[in-house]
Amino acid sequence: MAAKPESVVARDYELIIVGAGPVGLALALALGPSGLGLDCVVVAATEPQRPAAGAPGRAYALGAASRRMLGGLGVWPTLKPHAQAMERIIVTDGRVGGSQLSLLEFGEADAAHDPAQIVEEPALIASLLDTLTKPAVSPFCIGEVTEFTDLGAAGEIRFTDGQKMRAPLVVAADGAGSRLASLNAIAHVSWDYGQAGLVATIEHDLPHNGVAIERFYPSGPFAMLPLTGKRTSLVWTEAQTEATRLANLERSAFQIELERRFGEDRGRILSIGPRHAYPLKFKIARKFTAPRLALVGDAAHVVHPLAGQGLNLGFRDVAALAECVADAARLGLDVGDATTLTRYERWRRFDTVQSALGYDGLNRLFSNDHDGLRLVRDLGLGLVDRLPAVKRAFMAEAAGLTGETPRLLTGAAL
């Protein structure tokens, strides 16, 4: 049995991570006692629960780089039985009820084939928690952060009950509405897409053979991600009001709407899991660091899910920050000083802005029914499909293996 987390333990640490989502948990594994060995605490708003097997949740397409890092952190062996390889990806341009023009296909025949793995959030969180939580020692502290102070040699966080904690480095892994970012007056560049991603798990009676399909409709992309067994995770992007209507539609009426897009390749729809509509926005922090603070994951950037890259970018932050901290620690340097933080910021911010704007551009190009743009995108993607070198570059980008790749993402030790 793991020890029960304290409400707040007011003492000093070498590293404080605020937020127990997938990004915060992965960073704790990389830098905490089972990784680099820092004395580390993860601050969670409520006690992290191990989700029950089969609990509903959205699915993530983890690129090869993310998977290698999870392997190095000891998470992958537990997660692997719950992962489905995405053997082929078919991108089509479609009109509801009309033709599905196939624009692009990635698969085994491509030289750089190293398929992304689809994992469901409950299984990912459970595997991260199982690997992180050792008997008798809880890495968690439960409390709500109300203040952050730069003390010069350390960052100090204060909780609602007045207790305080200090560390040379505090990491904000507290998601899209990051409290730590606002306490540090870090502004964001952001806009709403006016779209929402409707997510649900569908059971069907024919196998999907590891094929992922992304159909681009004028209202937004409709993605079908293969899960283990005869199941598919849906990410159905629609205008916000339409997504809310679909989420609340009576089940049989929803199934009729769904069948118009889902197609017949996977046979009959046997069941439809709970539906959730996530409002979509673009949001990038103007700075990824402040004195004694680093932002990682959705606390630093929220991107359109059409390329399935949000968490992959977050894991890239984890790998880059962990490397900056490890290199400093090994030289006996301060792990949270300006030199370490500047290196992290330079490594991640430009790369993130570039990727996020790329996904934003794709959404603008595809989420409309303008004939001219339709021609441009059909020609553009059709061309990519016929040029192996360009296609390989696309795949390396999606796998997270472009640019200066942090060691953890190559499968090497920290």
Which residues of this chain interact with ligand FAD, rule CB under 6 A? 18-24, 43-45, 58, 60-61, 145, 173-176, 179, 197, 199, 235, 278, 297-298, 305, 308-312, 314
Q: State the minimum distance, in angstroms, from the CB of residue 199 to ligand FAD.
A: 5
Q: State the minimum distance, in angstroms, from the CB of residue 17 to ligand FAD.
A: 9
How far from chain centre, in Å, is Cα 197? 14
Q: Which two tokens stand for residue 261?
A: 């897009």
Q: How far is CA 126 from CA 78, 155, 279, in A?
A: 9, 30, 25
Q: Which is nearer to ligand FAD, 228 or 339 (CB)?
A: 228
Round to whole Å and give the CA distance between 344 and 355. Answer: 17
Q: State the minimum distance, in angstroms, from the CB of residue 388 to ligand FAD.
A: 25
CB 5 within 8 A of CB 49: no
**Which residue type sits at 88?**
R
Question: Taking CB positions, which residue lies at the least distance from ligand FAD?
Answer: 21
Q: State the minimum distance, in angstroms, from the CB of residue 117 to ligand FAD.
A: 11
What is the CB neighbour count within 10 angstroms for residue 136?
7
Q: Which is nearer to ligand FAD, 93 or 174 (CB)?
A: 174
Which among 60, 50, 15, 239 is positioned nearest to 132, based on CA atoms? Answer: 50
Q: Which is nearer to ligand FAD, 169 or 329 (CB)?
A: 169
What is the CB neighbour count within 10 angstroms for residue 69?
30
Q: State the minimum distance, in angstroms, from the CB of residue 151 to ligand FAD.
A: 20
Q: Which is nearer to ligand FAD, 23 or 126 (CB)?
A: 23
Q: State the minimum distance, in angstroms, from the CB of residue 76 to ligand FAD.
A: 16
Q: Which is nearer to ligand FAD, 295 or 329 (CB)?
A: 295
Q: Which is nearer to ligand FAD, 61 or 326 (CB)?
A: 61
Instruction: State phi, psi for 194 to the nearest 5 degrees.
Output: 70, 15
Per-residue 3-state assignment (H helix, E strand, C coil) for 310-353? HHHHHHHHHHHHHHHHHHHHHCCCCCCCHHHHHHHHHHHHHHHH
- The C-alpha angle 286, 289, 291, rounded to 5 degrees, equals 130
Q: Which is nearer to ligand FAD, 87 or 278 (CB)?
A: 278
Q: State the minimum distance, in angstroms, from the CB of residue 195 to ligand FAD.
A: 10
CB 17 within 8 A of CB 295: no
How far from chain centre, in Å, is Cα 317? 11
